[in-house]
Amino acid sequence: MNTSDSEEDSYNERSALVQCESPTIPSYNQDHDMSLPQETDTKRRRPVSSGLDEPGPVERERASTPDGEEEELTLKYGAKHVIMLFIPVTLCMVVVVATIKSVSFYTEKTSQRLIYTPFEEDPNSVGQRLLNSLLNTMVMISVIVVMTIILVVLYKYRCYKFIHGWLILSSLMLLFWFSFMYLGEVFKTYNVAMDYPTLVMIIWNFGVVGMICIHWKGPLRLQQAYLIVISALMALIFIKYLPEWSAWVILGAISIYDLIAVLCPKGPLRMLVETAQERNEPIFPALIYSSAMVWMVGMADSSNPDSADERQRNEGGALAQEGVESEDDATQGGRRRYSAEEDLEEDRGVKLGLGDFIFYSVLVGKAATTGGDWNTTLACFVAILIGLCLTLLLLAIFKKALPALPISITFGLVFYFSTDNLVRPFMDSLAAHQYYI
C-alpha cells in the first residue's frame, strides 16, 4: 500500500521540543525560543527544536526569595519538566513495543513500500542493499525538506486556511483510517469477533472526540492521550513500511537534518520560529504535545474569547507565548476555565513536538522487532530517555531552541547496534550458564 499524499501531509508537522516562554516578558525569560515543530506533513518528520520552559514566571513570582532558593526551585522545576516529558515518551514507547510484540502484523514484511522509499532492498547483495537504503533516505529527506520549505512559505504568506486544512486532513487520516487498521489487526491477533456496526460506532466516536480534542478544546489529559496514540500509530506505520536498513539510515539522517534545520540561521525551522515569534502567534495545536494547562487557552484572552479561539485555530508560530500571555491576562482578569489552583509553575509546562515521539518510538519499536530479545529494547529505551534528559539540560544551559532528536537518536542507535551485537551474545552465554554479573 502506498500511502497517499495527505498521509504524508499529516506527518509533517510533528516534533520539536518547545518551551512555553512568553517573549513579552523578556526580563524574566531567558529562553523564549521555541522551536517550532515541523508543521508540515504528518509523515515528514520534523526536526525538533526543543525548548525547556525555564521557570521565568516562577522567578517572577518569587522575585523576593533569595537567589539560592530560586536556583533550587529552578533545578526542581527543571527536573519536573523532564519528568513531564519522560512519562508521555515512555507511554508512547510502551504502546508501540506492546503492539509490536503481540500483533504480528506490524512485523510482517510486505513487498509494499511507501512511495517515499521507492528503492527495494535486495537481501542478497550487501553493497546493493546499502546503496538502495541510502537512496531511499535521500528521497525521504528531500521530501521532508521540500515539505518544510512549503510550510514555511505558506506560513510566511499567511495561508493559514490551507495549513489548517492540511492538518485536519492528516489528523483525520490518522484518527480514522490508521486506528481502524490497528483495531482490525488487534482483533485478528486475539481472535475477537466483531461486527461492523459496533466497529463503526467505536471508530466514529474515537475519531470525532480525537478531532475535537486535538484541534479545538478538550480536557488536557484526553488531548495528551490522543496525541500519544496518534504518535504511536504513526510510528507503527513507519516500522511496518520502512525497509530494514533504510529505517536506520533515515533515523540517522533525520537527526542530522534536525540539527541543521534548527541551528543554522537559514534553517527552515528556525525561520518558522522567528516568524512565529514576530507575529506572536501560537503554534499549530495538532503538532505539539503540551504538558501544561497553558495549552487550553482559548478562553484566556479576557477581551475577546472568540478571537483567541480563532487565533488558536489558525496555528501559527510561537506556541506558548500566546498561551502564556493569555494565561497571565486571565489570571489578572480572574478568568480561568481549567484552572486547578493555578500554580503559575504548573502552567509552564513543556512542549514536545510529536515528531520526536514518533521517531523515538520508531527506534525502540525497531529494536523490539529483533525478536525475542528484550535487552536491546531496554537499552534503547534508557538511551533515549538519557538523551532527552541531556537535551533538556543543554536547553537549560544555552537557553535557546535546540533540536531534540540528535542526542537521543545517536545514543539510541549506538546502544541498539552495540547491544544487539556485543551485549546479546554475552548475556545469552551468561544466562545459559546462570552466571550473574
Which residues carry out catalysis? 258, 356
Give the residue among 298, 371, 353 at the shortest CA–CA distance from 42: 353
Give the residue among 344, 318, 348, 320 at the shortest CA–CA distance from 332: 344
Question: C-beta of 296: minimal distance to other proteins in Å?
Answer: 23
Closer to other proteins by CB, 126 or 382: give it: 382
| CB neighbour list of residue 173: distance below 8 Å, 6 or more residues apart | 4, 6, 7, 10, 42
Give the residue among 261, 233, 55 at the shortest CA–CA distance from 146: 261
Give the residue among 350, 408, 344 at the shortest CA–CA distance from 381: 408
Closer to other proteins by CB, 141 or 363: give it: 363
Q: Would you tell me which residues interact with other proteins (CB under 8 A)? A: 66-72, 75-76, 79-80, 82-83, 86, 372-375, 378-379, 382-383, 385-386, 389, 415, 418-419, 421-423, 425-431, 433-437
Give the residue among 352, 262, 353, 275 at the shortest CA–CA distance from 316: 275
Q: Report whether 430 contacts 386 (CB < 8 A).
A: no
Query: What does residue 248 show for φ and ψ, rounded to 5 degrees?
Result: -70, -40
Closer to other proteins by CB, 216 or 426: give it: 426
Question: C-beta of 375: minimal distance to other proteins in Å?
Answer: 5
Question: C-beta of 345: minimal distance to other proteins in Å?
Answer: 13
How far apart CA 367 and CA 389 sit, in angstroms, is 21
Measure CA 255 to chain center: 13
Closer to other proteins by CB, 209 or 389: give it: 389
User: What residue spans of 27-159 are helical by DSSP H?
Assistant: 56-61, 67-102, 126-156
Closer to other proteins by CB, 36 or 379: give it: 379
Question: C-beta of 357: minimal distance to other proteins in Å?
Answer: 18
